[in-house]
Structure 1
Amino acid sequence: MADKHIDEISGVETTGHEWDGIRELNNPLPRWWLWSFYATIVWAIAYTVVYPAWPMLTDATKGLFNYSSRAELAAEVAGAKAAQAGMVEKIAALPVKEILADPQLTQFATAAGAAAFKVNCVQCHGSGAAGGAGYPNLNDDDWLWGGNIEQIQQTIAHGIRYNADADTRVSEMPAFADILKPEEVRQVAAYVVSLTGTPHDSALVEPGRQLFADNCASCHGEDARGNREFGAPNLADAIWLKVQGEEQIAAQIRQPKHGVMPGWNVRLGDATVKELAVYIHSLGGGE
């Protein structure tokens, strides 16, 4: 057996490992570290005995305490629902106007509606309800179908152009490519742009104004400020839902795009729809 090597500087025995002339000292670990390490082993063994730990073929060991994080969560959720039950029942029973008249119910409904919005509505309207191309901004005061609390509830409950609901809101802009000549479409587009901006050719505005009065005013109004009975947008406020710019406006006139929103009453229930309506109304654009 080879003689033990003692480091000349420290006087400590080496392990026998050497690399590039450097020898490894055989310093023992501190006692406190070793005892801490042993304690963690004992703790781990005790934990696996007391709590669920070891996976089996179809289940896992239950542990002496028979603890279940899922059961604990289910109990907490059940407790929260029980605490909220009275408020939810009141919301379900009251018209939305009366909910707004009760500060406590309004606060509860706003918080619940915000949670429901994050689960069901952000995919289209965005996390901040600011919308996007083709999806309405719910923070402003530009409403196709009306922005009072009852109108908002109606829209959420039954949707827009949602074939599965007989009470859905329905409107349809005709394809004017079948009605107007290409030059007339450009004239109408120039007039619409002139309401809030500068068209490419100002000479098209006046003939476009007359064409608008003859073909578009019945829905959008003589002043082009829209008609909520038909879901016809206000064209004079520089807020654009589906298009922006003269070329896109002309394309919308020729072959319009129509959005669809599902009716949420069946899926979410009357109480949650009311909570959503209160929340959206609270964003600042409600009337």
Structure 2
Amino acid sequence: MALGERDPVTGYLTTGHEWNGIKELNSPVPRIVYVFLILTTAFSLIYCLLMPALPLGTTYTKGLLGYDERQVVERELARAATVKAPWHELLDRQDFVALAADEAVMREIREAGRLLFGQNCAACHGTNAMGNAGFPNLATGTLNWGDSPEVMQETIRIGVNSAHPETRTAQMPAFGKDGILSRREVDAVIAYVHDLGRDGIAAANLAHSDGAEIFSAQCSACHGEDARGNAELGAPNLTDSNWLYGGDLQTIFETVWYGRQGQMPGWEARLGARNVKLLAAYISDLRTQRP
């Protein structure tokens, strides 16, 4: 095909390329493309002139408008702090009873607490605070260390088996793995514990006398003779239907045989005293809203 041949239909010259009888036209670039290129280039130049844009080693061009995103954020934070100051002051000063009685403050606590909980606690306890295996149900479940707002505030502050110097500590021995109990004794005590919550302590004592005896000798120091737990030690109540790891025989066996050592970080350094108290008030409110 000769270079410079003109297409009879469109009037455009061809490029000299042909594929399967199809000739390539040397059609001009649409003018709209040039318009967009000119506009975007002009916009870029104007933006670089007016706004912070070009890096210059350890600094950057400031722009004629002097716009600074950091200053904008700082102003927004200062404005938000001013808006929140009245209820923050009440949160800092009032006890949990007074806070719960102030519906206006509780609305703020519910909104802020929901966000704070979602960002820091939901990964373990779930977005609805109903817990996961190995992580307690904060909304309705029994809490090992107690469920008063003051106790929850302290638990959040210092954590459990955490790096905080005042941390709560909790350790259940590995009765089977460490040879404290034989396999027969472990089987006896897990059968007893399994039936405590289902049938009650009297029926469990009658049905599993060997397990009851082993429990009294090995477990009652932490869980109590009545198996109702000890909040001072963080030992759970074994007579109800709330199980941290699971209440089936296999899971109870794993707990008794291998032991348990839950862990929760202390949030004081990361969140600060105000947010720790905010979370305690939020969780306490959740517990009052659900049966």
Q: What is the TM-score with the length of structure 2 in the denominator? A: 0.80
Partners of 1:91 and 1:271 within 8 A in 2: yes
Equivalence map 1:111-260=2 (5 Å): 111-162=111-162, 164-166=164-166, 168-174=167-173, 176=175, 180-196=181-197, 205-242=208-245, 244-260=247-263
Structure 1: runs of 5 or more not aligned = none
Q: Distance in 2 between matches of 1:217 and 1:286?
A: 34
Partners of 1:130 and 1:139 within 8 A in 2: yes
* Residues paired across the two proteins, number: 280
Partners of 2:125 and 2:132 within 8 A in 1: yes
Partners of 1:97 and 1:150 within 8 A in 2: no
* Bigger relative contact order (CA 8 A; separation at least 6): 1
The aligned residue for residue 18 of structure 1 is: 17
Partners of 2:134 and 2:245 within 8 A in 1: yes
Q: Secondary structure at the match of 2:60?
A: coil
Structure 2: runs of 5 or more not aligned = 200-205
Question: How far apart are 1:143 and its partner, in Å?
Answer: 1.4
Equivalence map 1:12-161=2 (5 Å): 12-20=11-19, 21-161=21-161
Q: Distance in 1 between matches of 2:26 and 2:180?
A: 95
Partners of 1:15 and 1:25 within 8 A in 2: yes
Q: Secondary structure at the match of 2:242?
A: coil
Deviations 1:131-163 (A, max 9, x none): 333222222222112223222112212323446
Seen in structure 2, the aligned counterparts of structure 1 residues 57 and 162 have a Cα distance that, compared at 3 Å, is: closer
Amino acid at match of 1:148: S
Deviations 1:208-261 (A, max 9, x none): 133324443454345533333332212233432235543442343345222233
Partners of 1:144 and 1:231 within 8 A in 2: yes
Q: Distance in 1 between matches of 2:3 and 2:68?
A: 58
Q: What is the TM-score with the length of structure 1 in the denominator? A: 0.81
Q: Distance in 2 between matches of 1:32 and 1:176?
A: 80
Deviations 1:10-46 (A, max 9, x none): 1412242413132223444554554343222222222
